[in-house]
């Protein structure tokens, strides 16, 4: 059974750095046909892709947020970590991690974690 679960702070202050962890089970982060992405959704708004990481450690970032994002993985812990620097209230959103397949789609998603940016 494939599952993904996000964890991290529910509240961060402006200018702080956000660190989110996605813990996966039911598949390996070394699986050549899979990757993991982070996607966010501000309240009442659309989905926004942030970053993804492949089994070979290749990474890709949203052009608009690239300077603030870092994605990494620890295969032995089955975890993918996203850091986002210089948080702002507009970054308030539910952050999802999802499994990315070689069809370019997301077949499994985490439940999401709401991160609020406020002083």
Query: Which residue ranges make up the site for other proteins (CB under 8 A)?
Result: 37, 39, 46-49, 52, 58, 60, 62-64, 96, 98, 103-107, 109-112
Residue 53 vs 81, nearer CB to other proteins:
53
Determine how β-strand 11-12 pairs with β-strand 113-117: parallel
Please, what is the minimum distance in Å from the beta carbon of residue 38 to other proteins? Answer: 11
Residue 18 vs 53, nearer CB to other proteins:
53
Please, what is the minimum distance in Å from the beta carbon of residue 87 to other proteins? Answer: 22
Distance in angstroms (rounded) separating the CA atoms of residues 91 and 75: 28
Please, what is the minimum distance in Å from the beta carbon of residue 74 to other proteins? Answer: 22
Bridge partners of residue 101, in order along the sequence: 34
Q: Which of 35, 48, 55 is nearest to 107 (CA)?
A: 35
103 Cβ neighbours under 8 A, 6+ residues apart: none
């Amino acid at each position: 059974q494939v599952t993904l679960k996000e964890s991290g702070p529910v509240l961060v202050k402006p200018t702080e750095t956000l660190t989110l962890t996605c813990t996966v089970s039911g598949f390996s982060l070394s699986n050549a046909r899979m990757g993991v992405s982070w996607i966010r959704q501000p309240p009442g708004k659309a989905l926004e892709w942030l970053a993804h990481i492949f089994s070979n450690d290749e990474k890709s970032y949203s052009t608009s947020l690239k300077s603030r994002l870092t994605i990494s993985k620890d295969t032995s812990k089955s975890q993918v970590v996203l850091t986002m620097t210089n948080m702002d209230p507009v970054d308030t959103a539910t952050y999802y991690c999802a499994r990315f397949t070689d069809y370019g789609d997301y077949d499994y998603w985490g439940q999401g974690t709401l991160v609020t940016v406020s002083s």
